[in-house]
Amino acid sequence: MPRLVMKFGGTSVANMDRIRNVARHVKREVDAGFEVAVVVSAMSGKTNELIAFVEDASKLHDKGEYDAVVASGEQITSGLLAIALQEMSIPARSWQGWQIPIETSDAHGAARIESIRGDKIIAGFTAGQVAVVAGFQGIHSSTGRLTTLGRGGSDTSAVAIAAAIGADRCDIYTDVDGVYTTDPRIVPQARRLDRVAFEEMLEMASLGAKVLQVRSVEVAMVHKVKTFVRSSLDDPDDPKPGTLICDEEDILEQQVVTGIAFSKDEAQITLRRVADKPGVAALIFGPLADANINVDMIIQVVSNDQKTTDLTFTVVTADFERAKAILEKHKDGIAYETLQGATDVVKISAIGIGMRSHAGIAARAFKALADKGINIRAITTSEIKFSVLIDKDYTELAVRTLHSLYGLDKA
Amino acid sequence: MPRLVMKFGGTSVANMDRIRNVARHVKREVDAGFEVAVVVSAMSGKTNELIAFVEDASKLHDKGEYDAVVASGEQITSGLLAIALQEMSIPARSWQGWQIPIETSDAHGAARIESIRGDKIIAGFTAGQVAVVAGFQGIHSSTGRLTTLGRGGSDTSAVAIAAAIGADRCDIYTDVDGVYTTDPRIVPQARRLDRVAFEEMLEMASLGAKVLQVRSVEVAMVHKVKTFVRSSLDDPDDPKPGTLICDEEDILEQQVVTGIAFSKDEAQITLRRVADKPGVAALIFGPLADANINVDMIIQVVSNDQKTTDLTFTVVTADFERAKAILEKHKDGIAYETLQGATDVVKISAIGIGMRSHAGIAARAFKALADKGINIRAITTSEIKFSVLIDKDYTELAVRTLHSLYGLDKA
């Protein structure tokens, strides 16, 4: 029999009525002849409630205990959905991460899945049973402790389980009906994509599109899991297909640019008049890396005097204060004159596998943005995307400008 | 080092302030040199919230999924208390039932503990770590599924863990400061007992005193766990000792009657003019036993005609309608004339190991109750207790009468 993994997020399981609606989606696929594993998140609001408890207990809480507390949210939903399915005469049982087991690294709060055994779930299929899996959670096998996969981790649970049980498809149900060319709240002309390549989706997720956890796209890409993003708000008896994430070979009409993403979660740091000597980059970025701070969009400009350089880079907003403190502590070692920071910035990105074979794509953007009076603070490019850092106030204008420029507006 | 198990119920961990208060109680014992395992219930209200979810999902829910859902309440508290302890610089970690493991029967919703491994908790002690154990839950080893121990099950978790790790003492913290001669809300003269024998406590718990789960007392008695009932509302720096539950040999001044218990959770069923033939009791009680209905206080009176008998017994209120329905279904087989039922009854019991060596204890009660105009519907006696079934309206009067009669009023 064909196998299917279905994943439902927090708003899709927010209360019992919505959980019963999820059960109807599952019933449709069971009736269609699929062996089904359903992956569920915590009821919306639950995880935040649990995190608030933990933060009340201690600002500097033990991440292992954090995981023990927050993993309970998914446990609750898995049991409730199993009961709702049984109530529709569909045999079902809940599975916690440690029961399967879903083995992860010991990076509590942001663990990586290392292996998943599919045999127990498959044995359940053979017995005619739907598997309801608590997403987001796993177990670190050598300590036997509960772990969680970080925000959006249930997406990764779903795709990894699909790979482990050899599913024919993985459907990620969300509160939108697919992947869009950009956020429709900003650009009403945004179009739903029928298909998007794994590489594009990976860049979109990394660059700010919140539809899927980045790690889930990586896993889908590596294991070639045919993944759909679709809507849990659809009528369970008449669902729409959503967006298929697939190999680029499976996309017939490739666009040069597929989507425009943006991230407001950026902060800019500039070090002025850094001594331009070998090894200076290591002096700057070494301590940041040691503190687990990821650096993005690095730009180095040699000054007029040829002896010093200005160095600009971005970090996520949450790391901004920490990064500044570290750099100030190392000021003498690095030997810079001043440190400037800004959080009123946004990173706008255009993504498309077509960029590989088309030159001058980014240059057109620079001109279009300049024509609108938008100043570019930093630029980075890679094979299938480019990003510009601009003032946050220009976010919507810049996104709309690029969306039109690359012909993404719907007719 | 001496070892201690401390157990805190739902009201004692109702919010983070109360959990921090629990941590202070734990700190006191750690500072006093104890290796400590703390057993916690769900935050008060949590279990009811989870049960409401399950009942909304299905009236006839799968008990295995019920357990998966409700066990999450204790998981949350265990993580939060571990963090609160760490915040006070006390090394601590949470333990779920399946991590220890606490192995139980597969009777989901009312599982019995079958074995507990103490080695991991003891290894934690050696590393200077307080064990924070999620009470109420266990694992059925052959299926690997979560189980729960029924209402009040955390008491049993605590005592069983104390037995498994060879604890010197098990302290059950509640919202009262010990075991009383009877409910002080009914009899203001009720006295806190310094000591009570295991056998007496077992009868008290079985007969309506809600201070401990019956099963926890059985486990304490079998494994000779020195158990205190004490108050979590005490100042953590100046706690009172509470009531010690111990072997009767350890009680110097034995009372004839130690306590008066009462249970309003009783219903009376009388079958009139049952054919007085061999095997009739089996015809009546067999079907009830098959339906897992426990029968108590059976009284049989031969009628004047010597051919029929009247048979009266009690069941818990929750089983009343079901018991009546079963008996009506079997009316022809049993051959009785009429079935009468009453739920406006209460069972009043007097408990004391001194009854073994003193005759006529119950007879004094019958007279005292008659003097107050209280009609006795049924009587049962055993070695260390007797119970009378009376009209519910007379509950307080009867409890006060017996409490005074046996000299339990405080001076």
pLDDT in tens, B100-149: 999 999 999 999 999 999 999 999 999 999 999 999 999 998 999 999 99
Half-sphere exposure of A75 (CA within 13 A, CB side): 31
Which of A207, A192, A197, A248 is CA-nearest to residue A350? A207
Least confident of B221-225, B331-335, B392-396: B331-335
Q: Tell me the C-alpha distance between A160 and A166, whole Å.
A: 10
- Predicted local distance difference test score (pLDDT) of residue B270: 93
Which chain B residue lies closest to A76 (C-alpha atoms)?
Answer: B69
Indicate yes or no: CB of A65 within 8 angstroms of CB of B86.
Answer: yes
Which pLDDT does position A303 carry in this prediction? 67
Dist CA B191 CA A382 (whole Å): 80
- B315: Cα within 13 Å, side-chain hemisphere: 22
pLDDT at B18: 96
Query: Considering only CA atoms, which of A303, A301, A305 is closest in space to residue A313?
Result: A301
Confidence of residue B188 (pLDDT cuts 50, 70, 90): very high
The lowest-confidence range among B2-6, B40-44, B199-203, B278-282 is B278-282
Considering chain B, what is the average pLDDT of its residues?
Answer: 93
Domain regions of chain B by residue span: 3-249, 254-411
Residues 6+ apart with CB under 8 A from B407: B255, B257
Determine the Cα–Cα distance for residues B289 and B275; give it in Å rounded to an integer.
21
**Average pLDDT of the segment spanning A289-315:** 84
Task: Select the residue of A75, A83, A96 nearest B61 (Cβ to Cβ).
Answer: A83
Residue A276, min C-alpha distance to chain B (Å)? 46
The reply to whether residue A80 touches residue B19, judged by beta carbons under 8 angstroms, is no
pLDDT digits (tens, 9 = 90+) for A356-395: 888 888 889 999 999 999 999 888 888 899 999 999 999 9
Q: Would the pLDDT of A164 be above 90?
A: yes
Does the structure show a pLDDT above 90 at A279?
no
Distance CA A49, CA B46 (A): 13
Give me the pLDDT at residue B315, please: 93
Chain A residues whose beta carbon lies within 8 Å of the beta carbon of residue B145: 99
Q: What percent of chain A has pLDDT over 70?
A: 100
Report the pLDDT value the prediction gives residue B59, as an integer from 0 to 100. 87
Residue A254 has pLDDT above 80, yes or no: no
Average pLDDT, integer, range B247-272: 90
Q: Do B50 and A146 touch (CB under 8 A)?
A: no
**Which among A56, A76, A86 has CB closest to B62?**
A86
CA B204 to chain centre: 8
How many angstroms separate the CA atoms of A133 and A117, rounded?
A: 13
Rounded to a whole number, what is the distance in Å from the CA of A94 to chain B's nearest CA?
7
Per-residue pLDDT, B160: 97
Contacts of B66 in chain A (CB under 8 A): 79, 83
Mean pLDDT of chain A: 93
User: Nearest residue on chain B to A132, judged by CA atoms?
Assistant: B65
| pLDDT reported for residue B411 | 76
Query: Which residue of B38, B55, B75, B80 to mutate against A (max A Cβ within 10 Å)?
Result: B80
Beta-carbon separation of A72 and B69 below 8 A = no
Contacts (Cβ under 8 Å, ≥6 apart) of B368: B401, B402, B405
Q: Could you tell me if A406 and A257 are in contact, meaning their C-beta atoms sit under 8 angstroms apart?
A: yes
Q: B254-411 belongs to which CATH class?
A: alpha beta
Mutate to test the interface with A, among B38, B43, B53, B77 (most CBs of A within 10 A): B53
Confidence category of residue B78, pLDDT binned at 50, 70, 90: very high
Cross-chain CB nearest to B57 (options A64, A83, A96): A83
Selection from B186, B359, B170 nearest residue B262 by Cα:
B186
> Six-digit token pair at A170?
């993985």
Q: What is the pLDDT of residue B343?
A: 95
Q: In the numeric block, which tokens belong to residue B84?
A: 């609160």
pLDDT one-digit tens code per residue, A16-67: 999 999 999 999 999 999 999 999 999 999 999 999 999 999 988 999 999 9
**What is the SS3 assignment for A400?**
helix
Phi and psi for A366 in degrees, rounded to 5? -60, -40
Strand-pair partners of B38: B6, B132
The answer to whether A65 contacts B80, with C-beta atoms less than 8 Å apart, is: yes
The pLDDT assigned to A122 comes to 98
**Token digits of residue A280:** 């200076």
CATH for B3-249, options being 3.20.20.150, 3.40.1160.10, 3.40.50.150, 3.40.1390.30:
3.40.1160.10
Interchain contact, B99 vs A58, CB within 8 Å: no
pLDDT of residue A139: 98
Percent of chain B past pLDDT 90, that is, above it, reads 78
**pLDDT for the residue numbered B381:** 86
Residues of chain B found within 8 Å of residue A91, distances taken between Cβ atoms: none
CATH of A260-405, one of 3.50.30.60, 3.40.50.11890, 3.40.630.30, 3.30.2130.10: 3.30.2130.10
Nearest neighbour of B87 by CB, restricted to A58, A82, A145: A58
CA of B173 to nearest chain A CA: how many angstroms apart? 21
Q: How far apart are CA A293 and CA B297, in angstroms?
A: 71
Nearest CA to B156 out of B128, B135, B181 is that of B135
Output the pLDDT for position A113. Answer: 96
Mean per-residue pLDDT, B154-179: 96
How many residues appear in chain B?
411
For B14, the closest chain A residue by CA position comes to A53
Overall fold of domain A3-248: Carbamate kinase (3.40.1160)
Give the pTM.
0.86
| The predicted structure's pLDDT at residue A356 | 86
Q: Which residues of B touch A (CB under 8 A)?
A: 16, 19, 50, 53-54, 56-58, 61-62, 64-69, 71-73, 75-76, 78-80, 82-84, 86-87, 93-94, 96, 98-99, 144-146
**In what order do the strands lie in the sheet containing A3-8?**
A92-95, A130-134, A35-40, A3-8, A169-174, A227-231, A243-246, A195-197
Q: Mean pLDDT across the stretch A333-340?
A: 92
Mean pLDDT over residues B28-33, rounded? Answer: 97
Instruction: Tell me which chain A residue has its CA closest to the CA of residue B20.
Output: A57
pLDDT of residue A302 exceeding 80, the answer is: no
